[in-house]
Homo-oligomer: A and B are copies of this chain.
Amino acid sequence: MSQRITGVLAPVVTPFDADLAPDPGRLVGHCRWLLANGVGLALFGTNSEANSLGVGERMDLLERVATSGVDPARMMPGTGTCALPDTVRLTAHAVKLGCAGVLMLPPFYYKGVSDEGLYRYFAEVIERVGDSRLRVYLYHIPPVSQIPVSLPLIERLLRAYPDAIAGVKDSSGDWANTKALLERFAPQGFDVFAGSESFLLANLRHGGRGCISATANVNPAAIHALCAKWQAADADAMQKDLDAIRSTFQKFPMIPALKQAVAHWSADPEWARVRPPLVELTSPQSATLLADLEGQGFSMPGLRTRK
């Protein structure tokens, strides 16, 4: 078994052109900048607008990134959809391209589904992909998906598929849940990623492996630095600095705010575009965001993602 992926990953924001089509050139550029700043690529996460992309669009983009010289060992694309065959197709494709793992949402249209139904779903995906290289990171994000990935479900999946079930991204925002995951499953080699850098230090101190965070798109070097030096004396101060930047972004709708920051620091207004049902920040919102960030000395050095 190859080395597991760890550290800080960004759910890479997806650029769209004037026709709202995904823009692979700009995407590859942003991926390179993230990697150069120590951050891995959780392409097709919630903050990537992945669920606004079709299956074919996702496969095309992943291939473009994978064939651009980016190391697939640094990639953990999202592959979970509402429909079993789509999830199988995306997952098998990511494994075939050599990705380190996949981040898998539960099917999220039908609400109130049972753990038995979710178990059958994940088990069926793993069986159908049928590849010993598959590493699944379960995606627990109840505020958005409305479908929790419970501890008993994880326990059952781990028992049945100890190699394929590699870890979890906990975006519940509930540290008690992350802590319970760490205590119960980390000792058996199950990798817990916090869903934001707010919990990065706490997660690492309790045996977690890193974080997968929206704001790693814009503040990668500083988040990576804390992950690398979490045992240093000034770790708590570093955490506090990360929290300040994150809280500035959180005053706005996150995805358009991230894209606005990328647009500004790459001097490339095309980056601000989002796909409906999302909407861009208004001009006053953008001005406030950028002024707030500049007031904190924030910038995105070296960013140049234009095609």
A-side residues, CB < 8 A to B, are: 20, 46, 51-55, 57, 82-86, 89, 106-111, 113-114, 116-118, 120-121, 124, 143-147, 275-279
A84-B275, A114-B279, A118-B277 known, 6 other contacts, Cβ within 8 Å: A46-B110, A51-B109, A52-B107, A108-B108, A117-B279, A120-B279
Q: Is the CB of A57 within 8 A of B85?
A: yes
Q: Give Cα A277–Cα B107 distance, bound, in whole angstroms.
A: 7
Q: Is the CB of B276 within 8 A of A121?
A: yes
Q: Is the CB of A276 within 8 A of B84?
A: yes
Q: Is the CB of B278 within 8 A of A113?
A: yes
Q: Give Cα A177–Cα B294 distance, bound, in whole angstroms.
A: 46
Q: Is the CB of A51 within 8 A of B83?
A: yes
Q: Is the CB of A124 within 8 A of B84?
A: no
Q: Is the CB of B144 within 8 A of A84?
A: no
Q: Is the CB of B277 within 8 A of A120?
A: yes
Chain B residue contacts of A84, Cβ below 8 A: 20, 52, 275-276
Q: Is the CB of B277 within 8 A of A106?
A: yes
Q: Give Cα A30–Cα B46 distance, bound, in whole angstroms.
A: 38
Q: Is the CB of B276 within 8 A of A120?
A: yes
**A46, A106, A143, A275 interface centre (most CB from chain B within 10 Å):** A275
25 A-B pairs within 8 Å (CB atoms) are namely A20-B84, A20-B124, A46-B109, A51-B82, A51-B83, A51-B107, A52-B82, A52-B84, A53-B85, A54-B89, A55-B55, A82-B82, A84-B275, A84-B276, A106-B277, A108-B108, A109-B144, A110-B278, A111-B143, A111-B144, A111-B146, A116-B279, A117-B278, A118-B277, A120-B279
Q: Per a CB cutoff under 8 Å, which of B110, B145, B278 touches A144? A: B110
Q: Is the CB of A53 within 8 A of B277?
A: no
Chain B residue contacts of A108, Cβ below 8 A: 108-109
Q: Is the CB of B55 within 8 A of A54?
A: yes
Q: Give Cα A240–Cα B90 distance, bound, in whole angstroms.
A: 48
Chain B residue contacts of A54, Cβ below 8 A: 55, 83, 85-86, 89
Look across to chain B and name the residue whose beta carbon is closest to the beta carbon of A114.
B279
Q: Is the CB of A52 within 8 A of B83?
A: yes
**A144, A145, A276 interface centre (most CB from chain B within 10 Å):** A276
Chain B residue contacts of A110, Cβ below 8 A: 46, 51-52, 144, 277-278
Chain B residue contacts of A46, Cβ below 8 A: 109-110
Look across to chain B and name the residue whose beta carbon is closest to the beta carbon of A119.
B276
Q: Give Cα A277–Cα B120 distance, bound, in whole angstroms.
A: 7
CB proximity of A212 to chain B, nearest CB, Å: 17
